[in-house]
Amino acid sequence: MNASHRRSRRLRGALAGLAAAALGLTGCASEGGEGVSSSSKTIDYWLWDTNQLPAYQRCADLFEESHPGLSVNITQYGWDDYWQLLTAGFIAERGPDVFTNHVSQYPQYVSLETVQPLDELEATAAVDEGEFQEGLSELWTGEGGRMYGMPKDWDTVAAFYNKDMVREAGLTEEDLATWDWNPRDGGGFEDVIARLTVDENGVRGDEPGFDKSKVEVYGLGLNEAGGSSFGQAQWSGFAAATGWRATDEPFWDTSYNFDDPRAQEALDWYFGLVDKGYMPAYGQFNQADGVAPQIASGSAAIAFDGSWSLRSYARSDLDLGTARYPTGPDGQAASMMNGLADSISRDADDPEAAAQWVAFMASPECQQAVARDGVVFPSRQDSTPLAAEAFAQMGLDPEPFTAPVEEDEVFYFPVTDHGADVRALAIPALEDIYANRAPASTLDRTNRAIDVLFETGEG
């Protein structure tokens, strides 16, 4: 077997594993899609978010007006199909020229040399990274300072809550704006969700006679353990409020901290809410549906979710409010920040043309169009106020999502090698804690297995 065939087999195996592991990720996922073909004069662009498709189609129309001879075909697939089809395209060397990328995926794409460093291309190298929200460029910068994705948007996590349920419980919105938390007794946060939990007989979770086996409304919604995304939209804000981080360095670290007692104490408390009847048991709701339907159906009073879901919640007929994660033992709140980016394939028909499209998507012209559409917070700092205004006009307060960024109370989705293998280890370990109420100290074993990945370089 020659070297080319060996490399092709390695690429197929690694990419197949990467695509399979990606199916567990939940952050920023949407449904739907149908593909189109590309030509030598056409830039083929893939994304997964159906909500963003109209705004980026407008950007494509604007791009074509200012770039005669170039056109953009946008392909949108649902999240589950996206990564498998992208993998198939890379293997067959017929993938898209440009595609929306996720930080959990790209380190392995870099190691397999399937993405192009943007600093090698004139148009993308000329983009002023200082215009992006702080930290976004670093998320997408690898060894040697090479950028592999042009930041397109950012997200944080906060609570959505049913205002009517809050009022009926005798609580106020100020109670949620000023709540606190600790891992011993849950603090004011647990008091709130206990009060909002109601059994079939109308007895609340903080009242005598509450039946935790027959809950009609959960104080806090949940649909999955968060093992694929470091608890991004579940428990990450609580664990981070203790000072814990998934990795010591947010970008390109070589170890994980699932063995940190602070995280384990927070996780034991968090999943212990199931035992108290304040949060749904494992498998009670469909994981693929996300947590939003629990709010929409009245099954839960509060749910933590990402800013990528603001528009989905705004479609509800309910009177909804938003609130930040509660302040932790040190008096600070914390929210995980992530950002998607646009990457260029090594197999792009015309890399320089692809770079022009990527640079245009990062321009004020495109980013402001996306911001006004009210789907996400675009990556440019000057677009944030426009997106915030769009969300406010939908009836939802964006401040709990923007304030952590403005006040430097964010921590980043970790970027490391072996991302697929880390998720493959973390998912069943976190599900065991959620489903079987295994003690969080079992994560010591998981962390040792992760350490081996970095020690041996295997995965």
Q: Which residues contact 406 (CB under 8 A, 6 or more apart)?
A: none
Residue 140, pLDDT > 60, answer: yes
Contact call for residues 98 and 340 (beta carbons, < 8 A): no
The per-residue pLDDT for 194 is 98
Backbone angles phi, psi at 10, to 5 degrees: -65, -40
Residue 22, pLDDT > 90, answer: no
The per-residue pLDDT for 2 is 45
The per-residue pLDDT for 287 is 86
Q: What is the DSSP letter of 338?
A: B
Tokens of residue 25, six digits = 């990720």
The per-residue pLDDT for 26 is 46
Q: What is the DSSP letter of 415?
A: B
* For range 327-331, the mean pLDDT: 93
Q: Which residues contact 50 (CB under 8 A, 6 or more apart)?
A: 30, 31, 32, 33, 76, 78
Contact call for residues 180 and 285 (beta carbons, < 8 A): no
For residue range 222-241, list pLDDT tens digits in order. Answer: 999 999 999 999 999 999 99
Sign of the C-alpha dihedral computed for residues 51, 55, 60 and 61 taken in this order = positive
For residue range 420-441, list pLDDT tens digits in order. Answer: 899 999 999 999 999 999 999 9
Residue 70, pLDDT > 50, answer: yes
Q: What is the DSSP letter of 118?
A: G
Q: What is the average pLDDT value for the chain, to the nearest integer?
A: 91
Rounded (10°) CA dihedral 379, 25, 399, 301: 160
The per-residue pLDDT for 17 is 54
The whole-angstrom separation of Cα 392 and Cα 399 is 9
Q: Tell me how far CA of residue 320 lies from CA of 28, 301, 336, in angstroms.
A: 21, 10, 22
Residue 32, pLDDT > 70, answer: no
Tokens of residue 292, six digits = 């939003």
Residue 67, pLDDT > 70, answer: yes
For residue range 181-218, list pLDDT tens digits in order. Answer: 999 999 999 999 999 999 999 999 999 999 999 999 99
The per-residue pLDDT for 6 is 41
The per-residue pLDDT for 19 is 52
Q: What is the DSSP letter of 115?
A: B
Share of the chain above pLDDT 90, in %: 80
3-state secondary structure of 63: helix
3-state secondary structure of 380: strand
The per-residue pLDDT for 112 is 87
Rounded (10°) CA dihedral 375, 378, 382, 383: -20
**Residues of 184-215 as b/e, b for ≥16 C-beta within 10 angstroms?**
eebbbbbbbbbbbbbbeeebbbbeeebeeeeb
Rounded (10°) CA dihedral 459, 93, 359, 352: 130
Per the model's pLDDT, the better-predicted residue between 112 and 166 turns out to be: 166
For residue range 86-125, list pLDDT tens digits in order. Answer: 988 988 888 899 999 999 889 988 988 999 999 999 999 9
The whole-angstrom separation of Cα 159 and Cα 141 is 30
- Residue entry with tokens 């392909």: 75
The per-residue pLDDT for 18 is 54
- Residue entry with tokens 């979710």: 305
Lowest pLDDT segment from 4-18, 251-265, 419-433: 4-18
Residue 323, pLDDT > 60, answer: yes
3-state secondary structure of 73: strand
- Written as one string, the DSSP assignment of 276-329 is HTSSPPTTSS-GGG-SHHHHHTTSEEEEEEEGGGHHHHHTSSS-EEEEPPPB-T
Q: Tell me how far CA of residue 32 lies from CA of 48, 49, 81, 286, in angstroms.
A: 8, 8, 9, 18
The whole-angstrom separation of Cα 438 and Cα 398 is 36
The per-residue pLDDT for 56 is 97
The whole-angstrom separation of Cα 332 and Cα 330 is 6
What the chain holds in terms of domains, given with CATH numbers, is: 3-153+340-379 (3.40.190.10), 157-337+417-456 (3.40.190.10)
- Written as one string, the DSSP assignment of 152-187 is -EEB-EEEEEEHHHHHHTT--HHHHHS-B--TTT-H
3-state secondary structure of 345: strand
* For range 310-316, the mean pLDDT: 93
The per-residue pLDDT for 143 is 79
* For range 163-174, the mean pLDDT: 98
* For range 378-397, the mean pLDDT: 97
Q: Would you place residue 11 in the very low, low, confident or very high pLDDT band (cuts 50, 70, 90)? A: low
For residue range 260-310, list pLDDT tens digits in order. Answer: 999 999 999 999 999 999 999 999 998 888 999 999 999 999 999 999 999
For residue range 45-55, list pLDDT tens digits in order. Answer: 999 999 999 99
**Residues of 336-375 as b/e, b for ≥16 C-beta within 10 angstroms?**
bbbbbbbbbbbbbeebebbbbbbbbbbbeebbbbbbbbbb
